[in-house]
Amino acid sequence: MRRYQGTFELIWNAYSGEAAWQMVCDLSRFHRIQASPGHRQAAQLVRQRALDAGLEAEILSYPADEAAHFWAFPSFQEWECEQASLQLVQPAASARRLADYREVPISVIQRSSPYDGEADLVLLEDGEEDSDYEGLDVAGKAVLTRGDVRRVYDLAVERRGAAGILYDGMRVVPPVRPEGDLLDVRQYTGFWWRPGDRKCFGFVLPPRDGAALRRLLKGNEPVRVSARVVSRQYDGAIEVVSATIPGNIDQEVLVVAHLCHPSPSANDNASGAAAVLEAARTLQSLIRAGSLPPTQRTLRFLWLPEMTGTVAYLSAHEDDLSRIVAAINLDMVGEDQSQTGSSWLIERPPDAAASFAPELLSILREGMVGLGGMADVSPSHTGVGEFPLYRMAESAFSGGSDHYILSDPTVGVPTPMLIQWPDRFYHTSADTPDRTDPKSLARSGALAAAYAYWLAAAEVDEAAELGYQMVARFKAGLVKEAQAAVAEAMQAEDSDQLAEVLGQLDRRLAYRLSRQKAALRTLERLATLEYLVADMQSELDRTADREMAWAQGAMDQAWTGFSALGKKRRKREPGEAVEPPQPQSVVRESTPAEQEGAELIPFRQIRGPVPLQDYLWKLAPVESSAYRALLATRKGASPGTLTILALYWADGKRTVLQIADLVELEAGSRDVELLVAYFKLLDKLGFVTLQPRPV
Ligand SMILES: [Zn+2]
């Protein structure tokens, strides 16, 4: 993208990380719980700033009530909190204030219902199992727990009549937040009510205060708290701010950031919201000044409550989805890396949504290092070459933010994410503006602006150039696959293992090739490139063939050489002719789950992903607890991510077994049993129908 470097430099120079940082401070003051007056005020501020910058901007409003649904996502009521405070009143000698919403809005469990009174406090170990309640009477009392708040609600409040929950846990975020870190900080915790729930109150305590209460509770004296929550829940609204720089053809590029979360939540995600606002302002001012030509596609910037706002907006614009060529999601982009311990990541969309989008973003980011005046870039000690001083990496799709909805193939908007992770202060009261960094905001904001502008402006030449760049990167990917297989073959103990390594390489090359070709085809969204794309695809075919042949030859050589080193391998006699190794797939006896999975084809009945956690309660208790138990046995890759990936691959043609194969190729983890159970639950809930494979 050499020709584009000048455009990027213009954007970089016009972008103000300091202005974005001021906006982080402004937004941090609002308590931006999804569907709340605080979120509404933040939305109004963003809209006003976008108007001030000369964009067209409006606030779209969607129902926040228990009757509404956006695709598979249930809506929920609006919540307003006026006051919330918690005092320790007994033992009298220890009496003191434990929480005040005015000081720390995160000190109340979000969406707490009103309460005014005193309650005895009961200690739960974590309270996630029925056995934790043996010999305990929690009715009318408050419980102290570090367990999952939803689970404790079910067992302590719903089933046993507890009055409220005090939570003193702190999630570990390896390696930046080890066990025992952040003892004086409160973790962001919320209730997600379901229709018919007997709502209750709750508070969040710093672990140090929790430990002090635990000591008191192990003594002889009763421990009592006085709690007051003045709050209300009511049918309200969810706001989405939409601002545009209009183009002149009927296509759009989206730039998305979630605006929600409690105050301050500076990195998560006042940073993304502010970085996007400054990106919008920068592009608008450069275009208005004539420094950049207007784009043919519309640039649309969206600020919304995470997940809910995205499904609300997209489900209201179903007819427009095919006109959106791609998007980008900015979530937690303002990190001061020295404080948070983060790395600046491009998280790729899922493989089922293969496209040009992550490649474009990655190529542009590599180009940032060469930008004039670029902060945090150092020349080498002799001045030859330069490199960034910040940490950066690319990571595989893991979901957890709005790109997981946009990138779903049934939605069809390929969306990479810019994020900084891990973050020592993530989802705590310590996620404050002083832990964000104007330079960090500028890097993500200017990169997002450059990406969106490139896409909005791209015509046939740009699309072709990107295609050639993609081919180069994709070839490197095929070469790496072959190299990894050759390295693995060095460890093979016998010729069967060698043949299996080759068989796996064959499978991996075919998989990669299919994703790469699919990605190249999406260039057609930008321009008509029929012959060029076909030519690029054949070059990838040739590369895969060459790499396979090369790997076979290399393995043959290595085999002979290594036998001389005394490894337990078949030794080739002088003059002996040996067949070169051939790929072979392992034939194993299939498991019951594999046999079942091979016969079932899932058909998706609804657009977008399914937040299964929101529906488990609708199942018979025996079914939901069986699924919960299955999840609990899974180690390693998150079963949540594997199931999301599986749903993306379900196209009404593939069997569950074929889907499990693809998920394995994508995420490195094969779990047919989990996926069979998952699709059966979705079938029960009506989100897919499982049909037998036609004979
Ligand atoms: Zn977030």
- Is residue 20 scored above 80 in pLDDT? yes
CA of 400 to the centre of ligand 1 (A): 8
CA of 333 to the centre of ligand 1 (A): 10
- Is residue 576 scored above 80 in pLDDT? no
Tokens for 264, please give them.
């301050």
Which band of pLDDT confidence, cut at 50, 70 and 90, is reported for residue 536?
very high
CA of 208 to the centre of ligand 1 (A): 26
pLDDT digits (tens, 9 = 90+) for 337-396: 999 999 999 999 999 999 999 999 999 999 888 776 666 888 888 988 888 889 999 999
Number of Cβ within a 10 Å radius of residue 364: 20
Mean pLDDT of 514-524: 97
pLDDT mean across residues, the chain = 93
- Is residue 558 scored above 80 in pLDDT? no
Which band of pLDDT confidence, cut at 50, 70 and 90, is reported for residue 679?
very high
With both helix axes pointing from N to C terminus, report the angle between 460-489 and 495-521 in degrees, rounded to the nearest 10.
170
CA of 25 to the centre of ligand 1 (A): 17
CA of 254 to the centre of ligand 1 (A): 18
Q: Using H for helix, E for strand and C for coil, what is the string for 486-536?
A: HHHHCCCCCHHHHHHHHHHHHHHHHHHHHHHHHHHHHHHHCCCCHHHHHHH
CA of 558 to the centre of ligand 1 (A): 49
Which band of pLDDT confidence, cut at 50, 70 and 90, is reported for residue 195?
confident
- Is residue 561 scored above 60 in pLDDT? no
pLDDT digits (tens, 9 = 90+) for 111-138: 999 999 999 999 998 899 999 999 999 9
CA of 344 to the centre of ligand 1 (A): 14
CA of 12 to the centre of ligand 1 (A): 25
Q: What pLDDT is attached to residue 566?
A: 38
pLDDT digits (tens, 9 = 90+) for 433-446: 999 999 999 999 99
- Is residue 663 scored above 70 in pLDDT? yes
Which band of pLDDT confidence, cut at 50, 70 and 90, is reported for residue 149?
very high
CA of 305 to the centre of ligand 1 (A): 10
- Is residue 95 scored above 80 in pLDDT? yes
Which band of pLDDT confidence, cut at 50, 70 and 90, is reported for residue 267?
very high
pLDDT digits (tens, 9 = 90+) for 38-90: 999 999 999 999 999 999 999 999 999 999 999 999 999 999 999 999 999 99
pLDDT digits (tens, 9 = 90+) for 172-192: 999 999 999 999 999 999 999
Q: What pLDDT is attached to residue 372?
A: 64
Mean pLDDT of 279-286: 98
Q: Half-sphere exposure of 125 toward its Cβ, with a 13 Å CA cutoff?
A: 7
- Is residue 104 scored above 80 in pLDDT? yes
Question: What are the DSSP E strand ranges found in 54-132?
Answer: 56-64, 69-70, 73-74, 78-90, 96-100, 115-123
CA of 598 to the centre of ligand 1 (A): 37
Q: What pLDDT is attached to residue 565?
A: 40
CA of 401 to the centre of ligand 1 (A): 6
Residues linked to residue 173 through DSSP beta bridges, in sequence order: 177
- Is residue 584 scored above 80 in pLDDT? no
CB 303 within 8 A of CB 276: yes
CA of 325 to the centre of ligand 1 (A): 24
How far is residue 321's CA from residue 646's CA, in Å, rounded to a whole number? 22
Q: What angle do CA 185, 187, 193 make, to 5 degrees?
A: 155
CA of 204 to the centre of ligand 1 (A): 20
Mean pLDDT of 398-426: 97
Q: What pLDDT is attached to residue 29?
A: 97
CA of 256 to the centre of ligand 1 (A): 12
Least confident of 106-115, 336-345, 555-564, 677-686: 555-564
CA of 330 to the centre of ligand 1 (A): 9
Q: What pLDDT is attached to residue 514?
A: 97
Mean pLDDT of 628-656: 93
CA of 269 to the centre of ligand 1 (A): 5
CA of 402 to the centre of ligand 1 (A): 9
Helix (H, G, I), strand (E, B) or coil at 326: strand
- Is residue 397 scored above 60 in pLDDT? yes
Q: What pLDDT is attached to residue 419?
A: 98
CA of 373 to the centre of ligand 1 (A): 30
Instruction: Write out the residues surrounding ion ligand 1, Cβ under 5 A.
Output: 268-269, 331
CB 262 within 8 A of CB 81: no
How far is residue 683's CA from residue 619's CA, in Å, rounded to a whole number? 11
Mean pLDDT of 252-274: 98
Q: What pLDDT is attached to residue 571?
A: 54
pTM: 0.95
CA of 268 to the centre of ligand 1 (A): 5
Q: What pLDDT is attached to residue 530?
A: 80
pLDDT digits (tens, 9 = 90+) for 296-329: 999 999 999 999 999 999 999 999 999 999 999 9
Nearest of 548, 570, 546, 545 to residue 558 by alpha carbon: 570
CA of 310 to the centre of ligand 1 (A): 13
CA of 307 to the centre of ligand 1 (A): 10
Q: What pLDDT is attached to residue 142?
A: 98
CA of 258 to the centre of ligand 1 (A): 7
